[in-house]
Amino acid sequence: MKKIRITGFIVLPMLLLALTALNVRAEAAPDAEPAAEISEAVLMAEEALRQPLDDVPVLGEDAPMPEDMYLTGPYLYVAPAEDGPDDLFIPDQMALHYEPGDLPSGAVIRADETLVQVSEVPEGARALFPVLYCPGYSDSASYISLGTVYYQTYAVLLIDSKTGEAAARIKGPWREASSMMVSKGDYRTDMNEKYVYWFESTPKHLKDMWLDVFTGTAVNGYAVFAEEGEATGMLGDTRCAGGELVIPEGITGIGKLAFGGREDITGVRFPDSLTSVGERAFEECSALKELSLPEGVTLLSYHAFNSCKGLERVSLPESLTEIRYNCFSGCENLSEIELPAGLKELGDDCFGSCAKLTQITIPRNIREIPRTCFYGCTSLERVDFAGPVNRINDYAFTDCSALKSLSFTGNTNFVGPGAFRGCDSLEELSFHVTRRYAKQNWDKAWNEGCTARITWKSDPLPVILLIAGLAAAIAVAAAVMVKKRKK
C-alpha cells in the first residue's frame, strides 16, 4: 500500500504538469497559425475597427502588399444584425457608410461564405485576414447644398491573424452621387464624427464590392468565389502561388466567365467533384499551358478554353460527353488532345485555328463533322474515324494544308461547301457513296478548291443494267433458236 501511495503521490503531480504543458501548448497554437475560428477573427476585427487608422499603411497600385504579408481567410464584412435596422451596410440593400471608430448601433461582422481561401501562407509570412467596411465620406468628403457628394465607396482593413492589429488597409474608388440621390436629411454624423451615414441607392453584390477594392492592388494570396457549388471568379493573383489555380474540392461547376482573361494562370488543379466547365470560363487565359480534367466532367461549354494561346496539352476524362462550339478554337499551340470514346457531341469550330494540332481521332458516336471544326489546322496530318460519318458540314477541313488523305465510311449523306478548300496537300479522298449519290445530295461547291483524287463506292446501276442487257440478249437469242427449231 505504501508503494502504491508513494507512486500515486509521484504520478499525480507529473500528470498535472503534463496537462498544464499541453494546455499551454493548446493556447499557444492559435498564435502560430492564421485565425482558424471565425468567431476569433470577428472579435479581432471588432477591436481593430475601433482603433484610429491614421497610421495604418494604405496599399494601392503604387504601394503593393509587402512580400512578408499574405492574404488569407476568413473574409469578413460589416452587416446589420438580424434584429437591427435595415438601412445599414449590407450587399444588395440600401447602405449606410461609416468610418471606423465604432460600429454603428445594430451592426455586426459576418463571414463571407462565398469566398474560399485556396493559396497557403508561406513559412515566415504574416497571415492577414480582411474585413470589408464602408469609410463613407471620410475626411475628404464635401456636402454641397445642391446635394452632390463625393465619397469613397468601400474599403478593406487587413488584420494580422496573430496579433489582431490592423496591418494595412485598401481604399476603394471614389464616386460622385448626383443631387437626385442625396438630400440634406440623408447626410448626418454622430456627435464624435467617427462615422458618416449616407443612403446608397445603387446596391451592389458583395463580390463586386471586394473586387472594387482589390482591383489594381497587388496582393499576396488568392481565394475563389463560389456560390451554390459553382466557382464564379477569384480574388487576388495566382502568381504568388507559382501561377497554379486550385479549385477547391466540393465545387461541381465553373461558372460563366469565371476566370476568363486571367493572364496570371499557368495551370489549373481541378477538384474530383467537378462535372462541368461553363461558357468562357477560361477564355483567353493566355499563359495556361496544360489541362487535366478529372473523371466525372461531362460538359465543356461554349468558348470554355477559347484563345488560350499558350495551351499545349489537354487530357480529357472518359466521362466527357459534350464539347460545345468554339471550346478550343484559337488555341494555336495545342498539339496534344485525345477525344474520349464516349463523346457524343462536338460543337462548331471546336478546334478552329489550332495550328499545332497534328492528329486526332473522331470517336464512334460522332457521326457529324461540325461546321469549321478543323478550319485553319495547318499542321493537321491525320484524322482517324472510329465510326461512320454521315455528314461533313461547311468548311469542316478548310485550310488543313498538311492533310494528305481522308477516308470516310458509312453513308455520307451530305458534304457542305468548301469542306476541303485549301487542303493543298490532300492527295486522296475516299467515300462510301457513289458519285451519282453525291451529285444528287451534296452541296455543289463541296469540293471547291480541292484537287485530291476521289475514290467512290461502285455504282450498282450500270452493273444492273449490264446484267439486264445480257439477260435480254440471252432471252432474244433463245427465242431465235426456238424459232429455228420449229422450222
Q: Do 19 and 99 have their domain in common?
A: no
Question: Contact at 8 Å (CB) between 416 and 409?
Answer: no
Q: Do 27 and 144 have their domain in common?
A: no
The candidate with the shortest Cα–Cα distance to 128, out of 66, 196, 52, 49, is: 66
- 258 is a domain residue: no
- 282 is a domain residue: no
Cα 324 to Cα 365: distance, rounded to the nearest angstrom = 15
- Residue where the block lists cell 433463245: 478
Q: Do 82 and 161 have their domain in common?
A: yes
Q: Do 17 and 70 have their domain in common?
A: no
Residues near 355 by beta carbon (within 8 Å), at least 6 away in sequence: 332, 333, 376, 377, 378, 379
Kind plus residue range of the DSSP H or E element containing 392 = strand 391-392
Q: Do 118 and 136 have their domain in common?
A: yes
Q: Do 167 and 70 have their domain in common?
A: yes
Cα 238 to Cα 235: distance, rounded to the nearest angstrom = 9
Pairing mode, strands 382-385 and 244-246 = unpaired
Q: Do 57 and 96 have their domain in common?
A: yes
The candidate with the shortest Cα–Cα distance to 317, out of 286, 292, 283, 345, is: 292
- In the beta sheet, which residues pair with residue 109? 78
Q: Do 19 and 81 have their domain in common?
A: no
Cα 226 to Cα 217: distance, rounded to the nearest angstrom = 22
Which amino acid is it at 33? Answer: E
- 240 is a domain residue: no
Torsion sign (Cα): 442, 456, 376, 319: positive
Position 209 scores a pLDDT of 79
Tally of domains in the chain: 3
Q: Do 24 and 118 have their domain in common?
A: no
Pairing mode, strands 126-133 and 69-71 = parallel
- 1 is a domain residue: yes
Task: Transcribe 145-172 into DSSP letters.
Answer: TTS-EEEE--EEEEEETTT--EEEEEE-
- Measured at the CA of 373, the angle between CA 370 and CA 379, to 5 degrees, comes to 150
Backbone torsions φ then ψ of 114, nearest 5 degrees: -85, -10
Q: Do 160 and 73 have their domain in common?
A: yes
Position 478 scores a pLDDT of 73
Q: Do 94 and 188 have their domain in common?
A: yes
CB half-sphere exposure, 250, CA atoms < 13 A: 10
Cα 76 to Cα 73: distance, rounded to the nearest angstrom = 8
C-alpha cell at 54: 491614421
Cα 39 to Cα 24: distance, rounded to the nearest angstrom = 21
Position 245 scores a pLDDT of 94
Question: Contact at 8 Å (CB) between 78 and 105?
Answer: no
Pairing mode, strands 382-385 and 405-407 = unpaired
Range of the domain at 478: 461-487
- 347 is a domain residue: no
Cα 405 to Cα 427: distance, rounded to the nearest angstrom = 6
Question: Contact at 8 Å (CB) between 389 and 368?
Answer: yes
Query: Of 169, 185, 208, which residue is a domain's last?
Result: 208
Position 407 scores a pLDDT of 94
DSSP state of 255: P
Query: Of 208, 225, 259, which residue is a domain's last?
Result: 208
Q: Do 44 and 67 have their domain in common?
A: yes
Give me the tens of pLDDT residue by residue for the chain, a chain 487 residues long.
333 333 443 333 443 334 343 333 233 323 334 444 889 999 999 899 888 777 889 998 889 899 899 998 899 988 766 665 444 333 333 333 444 556 666 677 889 889 988 888 889 899 999 998 865 433 333 344 444 444 455 788 999 999 999 999 888 765 554 333 333 334 333 322 333 334 444 446 778 778 888 888 888 989 999 999 999 999 988 887 889 999 999 999 999 999 999 999 999 999 999 999 999 999 999 999 999 999 999 999 999 999 999 999 999 999 999 999 999 999 999 999 999 999 999 999 999 999 999 999 999 999 999 999 999 999 999 999 999 999 999 999 999 999 999 999 889 999 999 999 999 999 999 999 999 999 999 999 999 888 899 999 875 555 566 666 777 778 777 776 777 776 6
- 181 is a domain residue: yes
- 308 is a domain residue: no
Burial of 29 (0-12, 13-18, 19+ CB in 10 A): exposed
- 412 is a domain residue: no
Cα 240 to Cα 119: distance, rounded to the nearest angstrom = 8
Cα 9 to Cα 346: distance, rounded to the nearest angstrom = 79
Query: Of 208, 236, 261, which residue is a domain's last?
Result: 208
